[in-house]
Amino acid sequence: MLLRNRFAGKRLIAQTAALILSLSFSLLILSACGTEATNSSASYTPVNYLAGDTPNLLPTVVPTPLDNTPANGQTIDVYSSLPLTGSSQNESQPVVNAINMALDDLAGPNHTVAGFKIVYQSLDDATAAAGQWDANQEKINANKATSDPNAMVYIGTINSGAAKISIPILNQAHMVMISPANTYPGLTKSVEGVTAAGEPQSYYPTSPHNYFRLIATDDLQGPADVQFAANNLKAHSAYVIDDGQDYGKGLADAFAQQAPKNNIKIVGRSSITGQEATYQDLANKIKTAEPEMIFFGGIAQQQPGKLLADIRAAGVSVPFMGGDGLTDQTFQRESAVAGEGAYASISGVAVDKLPAKGQSFVQRYDAKYGAGSYSKSGPYTIYGYEAMAVALSAIEQAKQPNRLAILNAVAATKNFNGVLGNWSFDSNGDTTLTTFTIYQVVGDNYQFVTEVKPNTGS
Amino acid sequence: MMPNKTALPANSVAKSQVLDPTKSPPPNSGPSRPNLTTSGPNATPPAPAANNLLAALPRTKRGSWRWQTAVFCWLVLVVSLAGLLASLYVVSDRVQTFQEIEQVAVPSINAANQAEQSLSAEVSANASYILSDANTRQTLLTQIERDRADFESALETGYSSLASANTANPSVAAASDYLNQHNQALQDAFALARGQADNNDQKSATTTYLKGRDTYYNPIIYTIYYLRSIYINQLNQAKDAASSANILQLVLVILIVIATVGLLLLVSLWLTLKIKRVFVPLVNIGFLIAAGYAIFLVVSLVNSSGNLNRVVSAYSQTSLLSDSQRILTDAASDQTQWLIAKSGGVNGFDIYAQDFKTQTGHLLVVPSNPSDGQCPSSNAGRASYQPTGEMGDVCRSLLSDNQVDAWNNFYNAYTAWLQADTQFRSTANGNATNATTNALAFLNSSNVTQSFSNMSSNLNQLKTANTQIYANNSNDALNQLNLATILTWAVYPIVLILGIAGLLRWRREF
């Protein structure tokens, strides 16, 4: 009896200890993992990225070149089509710089991969007359690439509207297209209330699907922005404005659609053309609606800075937020003093949260183009590097100057360990990286606020 | 057997003894009645004379009439006082709106417009300085210093006017700090660039100038835009408030004048009926004065609303015209900046050619058939004018037909200037050794400078016309409202005196 009791007591103690240990371990695991919808706030000093502040980055990592077998006489052309004329030039030229850096890093000094000489050709899809990307010019660029028998890869575009032009042309030629910047969802998927009827099938007259992008789409950016508005700005109502263009309207639609699911009521919706002399009437309309925040979907060249100045002059002080279109310095300079405190979201993580390869790229970019150049270069620079890296990796895998083979190699990209981190293309051709970073205008700079990983569940 | 009739009590009066008023009452028949006689202390007063209406009336009617008179007197007093206060309130409120516009909004908007133009002219002069020779530079330096002084003076005026806008966010102080910080940085950059140009270090001068201009100029311009927008917004709010209050104020005034005029009319009619006279002098005169004043007051208020709308429209248009001048100057600067960047080997110099197109697009988009861009002479035509841009908005909102000529003169000079720009670019892009010098000479040639001068002159003409419209309408409204104020102080007391005197006078009529 006593023996039985002694053993029973020991068993009880052991069971209790095991329970305590397992609970502690579980708590440890949970605290480390976090939740699916994460709003992680930074605990470090904000960095003035546009002032050229250099955050404390990891030591430089020398990139590992691909198969640099000497050229066998065959050439593979890689084209890019980006707006290099007009106000977008400031964010497009750095993308070209980054593409060239990737070519230098991964294809060696002779620019060879798997025995093929890689020739990079930069095309401009903007015209002086238009001052921005031009549909006809984009069509010319796509046709030029497809008519070049050595052309295997097309990197571009910056503007989603331009991609609508070139995807079908390249699709019929089975040429892969990798975009560092397009965010309009309809190019790869159908999103209710956001994309147009027939999208994305209308862009792919033949199979296989030839379009891939490295940046998260607006149907994710909108919910990310809504989460920030609800959790950080504590807003319960919003006035939504778009610039009438594909990107801006798509982002605004995504925000407006997600907002009610986070208890944010849309109290007004307007569209601007970017050519208005003043926005006083709209500002007074917003004032009457009494929103708790204002969301703008659009690019900086469509005068959101002037819009914000009129909104503030009308006495509306609520937070103003937009997507990556507001990260252009054009917005900062036109909003001037009224732009203080405005928020902008960008796909991807902050520089000092990039993996070692990414931080190394940033440091080498600054070393090559001047201190602080990367931070002033716009949001798509690192994606340009990654686009060329993916293209060269696919060429290495295909080992043949065959468009379909290279396209299939790009489509099979899984667990790519690049400057953006470890990521894959999903079945739509979209990236699996879906973190967004929120910045705030402070003085003449953008300061990091937080990261948001959107939870698109209702 | 019949019941016995009960004998009457001793003091009762038999039916046959009912009192005869002509006879003395029987003893013990109750309180005595006055013995109506024609003389003595109890003598009956004589029958009233025919014209002693008051005495002839029964006591109750006589009391009612006096009571009605008193009531009318009090009504005239109360209505006159109420009318005086209400009219003064409405008129003074309208006067105050115009005075606030004149004393606060207009100087602020003028100051912002002046600052904007002075700065854009200074930037343009600095751009020209980089490319010019020593002699020309001295002239340009004088212009730069003058523009700088005008800019500083305009800001000082603007800040003092904006001091009352303490609810703005960002605050005026914050905007001032921001503006000063960027202004200082811009001046430092320009001074450095000029020094480098003087030392014949063209490349450094070009880079310093362009970097300074690209970084600091727009933040200053748009901070000024923000400050000006505060007052344009308040201008429009004053107009909207006046429009919404206009109806209520007009109703109030109409009710008061109806009450005043109506009361006097009622008194006139009442007296006419009572004393059988058609013309009751004092009251009728009071009625006519009140009626005339009422018409004048209502007309003044209605006119002042129209004046206010035209005042606000005229001043909003001066801001459009000021922005147009600034955009035009910036576009001209872009020509020079494109040339100095191109000649200085600056990467991306095409951005200035693109900015030129952006600025001219903001100014006015010329139709493919330029003749379609003329501003129509009729109101209906202008309302449906299609071309976009600041000057397109100006055309659509022109306030007088005589401004159309100035606008079309501007348009003709503008299209000529755009054509000259094409020739300028081809000269600069030419293969000639002195392409840059030739292009600069072309920019400074009489044709191009004359076109620019004509455009500026026409813009000034339009601005002057709007300023005149504002001044005329503001003065007309203030003059009329001030006269209304004087008349209000005079009319209501007169009406009060005439009304009451007229009511009391009838007693001496008879």
| Site of tokens 């013995």 | B35
Task: Give the pLDDT confidence score for residue B343 in this predicted structure.
Answer: 84
Instruction: Provide the pLDDT confidence category of residue A457 given band limits of 50, 70 and 90.
Output: low
- Residue B490: CA count within 13 A, CB half-sphere: 10
Instruction: Provide the pLDDT confidence category of residue B268 given band limits of 50, 70 and 90.
Output: confident
Do A243 and A322 contact (CB within 8 A), yes or no? Answer: no
Residues in A closer than 8 angstroms to B232, CB to CB, are 278, 280, 313
Query: Average pLDDT in the A98-102 region?
Result: 96
Task: Give the pLDDT confidence score for residue B287 in this predicted structure.
Answer: 81
Contact B232 A280 (CB under 8 A): yes
Better-scored residue on pLDDT, B71 or A128? B71
Task: Give the pLDDT confidence score for residue B1 in this predicted structure.
Answer: 39
Do B105 and B165 contact (CB within 8 A), yes or no? Answer: no
Do B260 and B134 contact (CB within 8 A), yes or no? Answer: no
Contact A309 B229 (CB under 8 A): yes
Each residue's pLDDT tens digit, A378-430: 789 999 999 999 999 999 999 999 999 999 999 999 999 999 999 999 999 99
Q: What whole-number distance in Å separates Cα of residue A320 and Cα of residue A440?
A: 10
**Sign of the CA dihedral A49, A51, A53, A59?**
positive
Task: Give the pLDDT confidence score for residue B164 in this predicted structure.
Answer: 58
Task: Give the pLDDT confidence score for residue A2 in this predicted structure.
Answer: 36
Q: Give the nearest partner residue to A306 out of B170, B222, B227, using CB atoms.
A: B222
Q: What whole-number distance in Å separates Cα of residue B168 and Cα of residue B230?
A: 8
Task: Give the pLDDT confidence score for residue B435 in this predicted structure.
Answer: 86
> Cis omega (within 30 of 0) on the bond before A291?
no
Task: Give the pLDDT confidence score for residue B30 in this predicted structure.
Answer: 41
| Mean pLDDT for chain A overall | 85
A313 contact B CB<8A: yes
Residue B398 in this model has a pLDDT that exceeds 50: yes
Task: Give the pLDDT confidence score for residue B120 in this predicted structure.
Answer: 93
A5 contact B CB<8A: no
Mutate to test the interface with A, among B225, B324, B351 (most CBs of A within 10 A): B225
Residue A28 in this model has a pLDDT that exceeds 80: no
Residue B15 in this model has a pLDDT that exceeds 50: no
Contact B222 A284 (CB under 8 A): no
Query: Which has the closest alpha carbon to A352: A35, A58, A137, A125?
Result: A58
Each residue's pLDDT tens digit, A305-341: 999 999 999 999 999 999 988 988 889 899 999 999 9
Q: Give the nearest partner residue to B388 out of A275, A315, A337, using CB atoms.
A: A275
Q: Which residues pair with A322 in a beta bridge?
A: A296, A344
Q: Which residues pair with A438 in a beta bridge?
A: A345, A450
Residues in B closer than 8 angstroms to A337, CB to CB, are 170, 174-175, 178-179, 219, 223, 226
Q: What whole-number distance in Å separates Cα of residue B159 and Cα of residue B200?
A: 39
A340 contact B CB<8A: yes
Residues in B closer than 8 angstroms to A280, CB to CB, are 229, 232-233, 236
Query: Average pLDDT in the B81-106 region?
Result: 85
B169 contact A CB<8A: yes
Q: What whole-number distance in Å separates Cα of residue A266 and Cα of residue A359?
A: 39
| Mean pLDDT for chain B overall | 81
Query: Which has the closest alpha carbon to A158: A300, A276, A294, A257?
Result: A300
**CA dihedral angle for residue A424, residue A430, residue A435, residue A436, rounded to 10 degrees:** 150
Rounded to the nearest 5°, which phi and psi values hold at A179?
-105, 135
Contact A313 B170 (CB under 8 A): no
Task: Give the pLDDT confidence score for residue B161 in this predicted structure.
Answer: 62
Neighbour order of strands in the sheet with A237-242? A39-41, A445-452, A436-442, A343-347, A320-322, A294-297, A237-242, A265-271
Task: Give the pLDDT confidence score for residue B165 in this predicted structure.
Answer: 56
Contact A89 B179 (CB under 8 A): no
Each residue's pLDDT tens digit, B154-184: 888 776 666 555 567 888 888 988 999 999 9
CB neighbour class for B39 (10 Å; exposed up to 12, middle 13-18, buried from 19) = exposed
Query: Average pLDDT in the A227-231 region?
Result: 97
pTM: 0.77
Q: What whole-number distance in Å separates Cα of residue B429 and Cα of residue B438?
A: 10
Highest mean pLDDT among A25-29, A384-388, B150-154: A384-388
Which residue is closest to A301 within chain B, CA to CA? B358
Better-scored residue on pLDDT, B24 or B463? B463
Which residue is closest to A338 within chain B, CA to CA? B170
Residue A70 in this model has a pLDDT that exceeds 70: no
Residues in A closer than 8 angstroms to B222, CB to CB, are 305-306, 309, 333-336, 338
Query: Average pLDDT in the B213-224 region?
Result: 93
Residues in B closer than 8 angstroms to A131, CB to CB, are 354, 357-358, 361
Residue A97 in this model has a pLDDT that exceeds 90: yes
A87 contact B CB<8A: yes
Q: What whole-number distance in Å separates Cα of residue A290 and Cα of residue A283?
A: 11
Better-scored residue on pLDDT, B279 or B465? B465
Task: Give the pLDDT confidence score for residue A48 in this predicted structure.
Answer: 44
Tell me the residues of chain A between 236 and 295 that have a Cβ less than 8 Å away from chain B.
Answer: 275, 277-278, 280, 283-284
Residue type, A196: A
B350 contact A CB<8A: yes
Residues in A closer than 8 angstroms to B318, CB to CB, are none
CA distances from B51 to B3, B69, B111, B504 (A): 63, 20, 78, 18
Q: Give the nearest partner residue to A333 out of B175, B219, B323, using CB atoms.
A: B219
Instruction: Provide the pLDDT confidence category of residue B21 given band limits of 50, 70 and 90.
Output: very low
Do A437 and A343 contact (CB within 8 A), yes or no? Answer: no
Contact B225 A89 (CB under 8 A): no
Which residue is closest to B179 within chain A, CA to CA? A337
The CB density around residue A183, as the number of other CB atoms within 10 Å, is: 26
Task: Give the pLDDT confidence score for residue B314 in this predicted structure.
Answer: 87
CA distances from A174 to A122, A143, A146, A208, A452 (A): 20, 13, 9, 7, 36
Each residue's pLDDT tens digit, A132-188: 789 999 999 999 999 999 999 999 999 999 999 999 999 999 999 999 999 889 999
Residue A111 in this model has a pLDDT that exceeds 60: yes
Q: What whole-number distance in Å separates Cα of residue B12 and Cα of residue B173?
A: 106
Query: Average pLDDT in the A25-52 region?
Result: 39
Q: Give the nearest partner residue to B320 out of A89, A277, A317, using CB atoms.
A: A277
- Residue A28: CA count within 13 A, CB half-sphere: 6
Q: What whole-number distance in Å separates Cα of residue A154 and Cα of residue A168?
A: 13
B421 contact A CB<8A: no
Interface confidence, given as ipTM, is: 0.77
Q: Give the nearest partner residue to B222 out of A315, A334, A340, using CB atoms.
A: A334
Q: Give the nearest partner residue to B219 out of A277, A283, A336, using CB atoms.
A: A336
Instruction: Provide the pLDDT confidence category of residue A359 given band limits of 50, 70 and 90.
Output: very high
Better-scored residue on pLDDT, A234 or A12? A234
**Sign of the CA dihedral B49, B50, B55, B60?**
positive
Query: Average pLDDT in the B236-252 region?
Result: 75
Residue type, A352: D
Contact A313 B233 (CB under 8 A): yes
**Closest chain A C-alpha to B238 CA, distance in angstroms:** 13
Give the DSSP H/E element, type plus range, for residue A113.
strand A112-113
The CB density around residue A383, as the number of other CB atoms within 10 Å, is: 23
Task: Give the pLDDT confidence score for residue A186 in this predicted structure.
Answer: 94
Cβ neighbours of residue B3 under 8 Å, at least 6 residues apart?
none
Instruction: Provide the pLDDT confidence category of residue A69 given band limits of 50, 70 and 90.
Output: low
Instruction: Provide the pLDDT confidence category of residue B50 given band limits of 50, 70 and 90.
Output: very low
Contact B174 A337 (CB under 8 A): yes
